[in-house]
A and B are shown apart, each in its own frame.
Chain A
């Protein structure tokens, strides 16, 4: 069905038109035209992805065939199930908020046409890889997203920090992509196909072998670089602070989640824990990731770097839930992907608003800034408390599901380590609230004033969503449950696609 392609077509069309439009509007002396155009593109793409909800609920998997008469397409094939749709809605939604936030935040920068074109292309890449039904499509969209994100991290190229961080990010991430490509070549050698359903079908009756383990190890290592799993996380604490704040929100909120999505999609669809034991691999990585993220976050003096390390620790919780191998655990993981995208996106956008007004990222210089910026500080406090896991905010719901699933799966050691880490993380979140909002303003913070309306709108909306999904988690829990069920029911996925 063509309807599958609409979100991607909208995003790529808007990205392609942005530079021309920008030229026209500049000659007419109309400001901010690109940003409003990009926001419109995200809104339309979000509507286009909502139109898929009906068909996906009815059919389970909605496919797009590039050649109508082919029995099973080998490339250019899209198959959307609940997992892909759930992920794509998160990606486009955070893109929309980041785009609105950029209207005022980026207004002092030059080259805005390329900024918005890259932002749209990055989200197009993420949506494409969420919808991909074979490895070729997946790889092309994966690299589209990666290349756009390298360029966006190094966007302010007149400063040294984005260049250094961007180069580090590029080398590590491209090496990860190369490992994924190598793993794909091994999968191709083993099964003779690259279509997810066909590969999964061929591997159903496989026996444990060194080559299979090598394939899974390379796949996990490659995707872990993107998901910032320790010990592959070194690019993240540099790249997130160096990028403009809306891009930090995108990177932390959704780009690292594409790594998680890719891990869930490939591991749960193609391999079985009884054949290749990837769950214990994920459990070890999750403990390492949580601990490294939380301990390093305690030591930070840079507000965005602190939030970047906190992202690493949250990836650890998500991996913990994924390593359980149960449907309940996967529900918790996907719920946390959604909730973390909102709350960490909100935290980075708030930090961006503060940095935009004061011009510094050092926490010591920002003491008391919250008293001067009431709206920003209230939303920032909501984001931070939600990241702690305070009840009636959305972070609590998903953390609760994750630890309940861990206890249900009898993974007591993991539960204890996770809860200890969660307790440790409260220290730096509360310290941030105490320093920024409860002290009297000094220095640069004393002259701060509230940010403009286009910066505040996404903050207020996202803070509202944090509270809404904290007190009423049912609709989003249902969606996550559907996505987890789609990820676990691989036989149904295979037969829906092989049957068509």
Chain B
């Protein structure tokens, strides 16, 4: 059962790396938001994983509670982010973040 623990830790580390890479390299606003989701799901997966491997045959409700709360809070953040994307599209007519460069320094 401990091998399962390490498999999931490795997965969440990969998700963290993918999310950070996406935030740095992607230009489309929707893809940026998707990277944000991946970053947050890395943390959520960690919570579920640690909760499941707390003690043999038992599942810790604390980690699962936090996982569910984190998912619902994420949904709010993503909702606000999508509202910004809609407004940005109205002003600029594009979803490319490199075009949003009126503000510099």
Determine if A170 and B46 form an interchain contact, defined as CB atoms under 8 angstroms apart: no
Most buried by A among B20, B62, B76, B91: B62
Q: A residues 135-157 with Cβ under 8 Å of B?
A: 135-136, 139-140, 143, 146-147, 150-151, 154, 157
For B21-54 the 0/1 string (1 means CB < 8 A from A) is 0010000010011001001101110110110001
A170 touches which of B66, B84, B92, B103 (Cβ 8 Å): B84
Determine if A167 and B100 form an interchain contact, defined as CB atoms under 8 angstroms apart: yes
Q: Please report the C-alpha to C-alpha distance between residue A151 and residue B54 in the assembled complex, in whole angstroms.
A: 39
Residues of B in contact, count (CB < 8 Å): 42
Residues of B within 8 A of A296 (CB): 105
Residues of A within 8 A of B103 (CB): 161, 164-165, 168, 238, 242
Contacts across chains A and B counted by CB atoms under 8 Å: 115
Residues of A within 8 A of B102 (CB): 160-161, 164
Q: Please report the C-alpha to C-alpha distance between residue A42 and residue B44 in the assembled complex, in whole angstroms.
A: 35
Determine if B39 and A175 form an interchain contact, defined as CB atoms under 8 angstroms apart: yes
**With A171-B32, A192-B54: A186-B46 Cβ-Cβ less than 8 Å:** yes
Q: Please report the C-alpha to C-alpha distance between residue A157 and residue B42 in the assembled complex, in whole angstroms.
A: 32
**With A75-B62, A181-B70, A185-B46: A163-B84 Cβ-Cβ less than 8 Å:** yes
A189 within 8 A of B: yes
Residues of A in contact, count (CB < 8 Å): 43
Determine if B76 and A147 form an interchain contact, defined as CB atoms under 8 angstroms apart: yes
Most buried by A among B36, B43, B97, B100: B43
Nearest opposing residue in chain A for B51, CB measure: A188
Main secondary structure of the interface of A (DSSP, over half): helix
Determine if B81 and A170 form an interchain contact, defined as CB atoms under 8 angstroms apart: yes
For A95-137 the 0/1 string (1 means CB < 8 A from B) is 0000000000000000000000000000000000000000110
Determine if B105 and A136 form an interchain contact, defined as CB atoms under 8 angstroms apart: no
B69 within 8 A of A: yes
Main secondary structure of the interface of B (DSSP, over half): helix
Residues of B within 8 A of A164 (CB): 88, 91, 100, 102-103
Determine if A154 and B87 form an interchain contact, defined as CB atoms under 8 angstroms apart: yes
**With A164-B103, A186-B46, A296-B105: A174-B70 Cβ-Cβ less than 8 Å:** no
**With A147-B80, A163-B87, A170-B80: A140-B39 Cβ-Cβ less than 8 Å:** no
**With A147-B76, A181-B43, A192-B54: A75-B87 Cβ-Cβ less than 8 Å:** no
A90 within 8 A of B: no
Determine if B66 and A136 form an interchain contact, defined as CB atoms under 8 angstroms apart: yes
Residues of A within 8 A of B36 (CB): 171, 174-175, 178
Nearest CB of chain B from residue A220's CB, rounded to whole Å? 16
Determine if B43 and A75 form an interchain contact, defined as CB atoms under 8 angstroms apart: no
For A179-190 the 0/1 string (1 means CB < 8 A from B) is 101101110110
A461 within 8 A of B: no
Determine if A182 and B62 form an interchain contact, defined as CB atoms under 8 angstroms apart: no
A residues with CB within 8 A of B: 74-75, 135-136, 139-140, 143, 146-147, 150-151, 154, 157, 160-161, 163-168, 170-171, 174-175, 177-179, 181-182, 184-186, 188-189, 192-194, 237-238, 242, 296, 299
Taking A168-B100, A182-B42 as given, write out 5 further A-B residue pairs in contact, using a Cβ cutoff of 8 Å, ordered by the A residue number: A139-B66, A147-B76, A160-B92, A167-B97, A193-B62
B residues with CB within 8 A of A: 12, 16, 19-20, 23, 29, 32-33, 36, 39-40, 42-44, 46-47, 49-50, 54, 60, 62-63, 65-66, 69-70, 73, 76-77, 80-81, 84-85, 87-88, 91-92, 97, 100, 102-103, 105
